[in-house]
Chains A and B, each alone.
Chain A
Amino acid sequence: MRLGLLLVAPVMVMVIVFFITPLVNALYYAFVDFDGLNPNPPFVGLDNFVEMFTDERVWAALQNNAIWIVIGTIAPLVIGLALALLMWNVRRGSSVYRVVLFLPYVLPQVVIGVVWGWIYDPIRGWLNKALELVGLGQLQTGWLGNADTALYAVLATAIWATSGFVFVIFLSALGNVDMELIDASMLDGTNTLQRLWYVILPQIMPVFLMVTTITLIGGFSVFDIIFVMTGGGPAGASDVLGTYAYSQAFQLNRISYGTTLALLITVLAIPFTIALNRLQRRLSMQGTGA
């Protein structure tokens, strides 16, 4: 027991100093009006929360988070699953494809943001060039500078970065699918879609939910890529809670308000995480029981 305490002590110290303490402080900040300078900030009760719920930009940011969560979860799932099904029986070059498709996921978001910014360049960017080439020149726009497209352009980049990761997870899950069931269903004369829906999907459901959880949580706390590509702009059009909280806290020195916004992200994300984890655990237990 002495050794146990000794081994665990450094982690506990680190967790308490660099995680629990600032987390508790975050709660404290939410109830005062701290500007970063005053060591004794005045207590303001629920003012920060009241402001948050009446701040139109919070609602706009939340809406962007919602768009990000829905599209940013569904698109990688669909693309990743489609790629995995496509690759399922492919032997030749499979390890190369796997490395190539997974690669974007390990690249730093800053680099991804910078390079995709070139692709979206209004005049010389490859996207506009490609559109003109296929005769869709009228769709050309300054993708990141246009308030209607900025969020979606960044989101498309994020989908590019995560689909390969989802693909690799699905591919390994498909490796565990019971082939006898597939053969049996083929004998029963099912078509491909029916097989996918009734035979394959139920078997990879726990993995499916796991991936959903990751992309969903990512959708609440998204920051780097939007911050790098648009900074939440133009004029807040692509702001999510994270970038809005950052600009309030570090650009306007509204430390307390920024912290309150950040708390909102946590409060929204945690129930989803727990619920999906529970569901996933229940499903995988059913799986082993059957």
Chain B
Amino acid sequence: MTGTTRAQSPRKRLLRTNKQILLVIISVITLFPVILTVSTAFKTSQDAQRNPFGLFSSFSTENFETAWTVGRFNEYLVNSFLLSVPSTALVVVLATMAGYTFARLPFPGRTFAFYLVVLGLLVPFFTFMIPLYFQLRGFGLLDTLLGVNLVLASTGLAFGTFFMRAFFTDLPTELEEAARIDGASEWQIFIKVMVPLVTSGAGALAVFTFLQNWNNFLVPLLYLPNGSFRPLTTGLFLFVGGRSVDIGPLAAGALITIVPVIVLFVLLQKQVTQGFLSGAIKG
């Protein structure tokens, strides 16, 4: 008996080392496209043209300067924030309000209203993106910050409301009742008692929604037809179409696009993962 365990132990250790080696290889393969982007972005422009994909063969920040000024990535970066921040704030605030009602405050027709909202989880954006284009054109909202922010927010509301409702449903009713006995109004109960209890959920929703809006490609592509307020995603796409040979600045632009995403993800991975895992129920 002791013999077998003693014999197993080095074998187990070997297995563990092999696992680690395998995981490192898998991680490098997974990260390879990101490594390639970093490598190409930091090349000298000459090297980027001659040998764009050779790994780390030169170093300069020329490509960033080109992307920033000639490629207008400075504007795109600002626009990405202008399109992602207000729409995210709108989703978090409105979804928290509606989520509370759907969880705690009954009204006639509430179930129907809730189905109407979560129908958005079932129907792909495609289905109504074309009529929405003409509707926005009718409102004069094409090529406006307001229009795209409203559309981005509305695409996130179905999930946001669903997500926040779950948090409010899980809260114990005792707190609410205690506050009511103390003479708090319904509004005070919501703002002072309930909302502070769901801040972690609202935070996860905020991070998740921000990433979705930052990464969104189709909405700005469709509803900013004249290119005003163009964000990084569509800017990058049109840069590819415009000058297919300039790989260096393109890589720099790609890096500018993903650095905020990576930073946010690494810093707030718990919130991001939570958002995406519950986002998984989507559909």
Contacts and interface: CB of A to CB of B under 8 A. Distances in A.
A joins B in a complex: yes
A126 B36 contact: yes
B130 A15 contact: no
Contacts of A23: 123, 127-128, 131
Interface stretch (A50-58, A109-117, A197-205): A109-117
A86 B113 contact: no
**Main SS at interface, chain B:** helix
24 contacts: A1-B107, A4-B104, A7-B97, A22-B128, A22-B129, A23-B127, A23-B128, A90-B16, A90-B23, A93-B20, A96-B27, A104-B30, A106-B215, A106-B272, A108-B217, A114-B250, A115-B37, A126-B32, A172-B277, A220-B124, A224-B217, A262-B124, A262-B127, A262-B130
A26 B283 contact: no
Given A15-B117, A119-B36, A92 B20 contact: yes
B240 A114 contact: yes
A109 B215 contact: yes
B53 A125 contact: yes
Interface string B238-279: 001000000100100010011001100110010011001100
**Main SS at interface, chain A:** helix
A102 interface: yes
B23 A86 contact: yes
A149 interface: no
A101 B29 CA distance: 10
A152 interface: no
A245 B218 CA distance: 13
B83 interface: no
B190 interface: yes
B215 to A, nearest CB: 4
Interface stretch (B3-11, B64-72, B150-158, B172-180): B150-158
Contacts of B120: 15, 19
Nearest to A160: B30
A211 B101 CA distance: 30
Contact of B20 (A5, A90, A125, A214): A90
Nearest to B108: A1
B132 A107 contact: no
Contacts of B215: 106-110
A259 B131 contact: yes
A185 to B, nearest CB: 19
A14 interface: yes
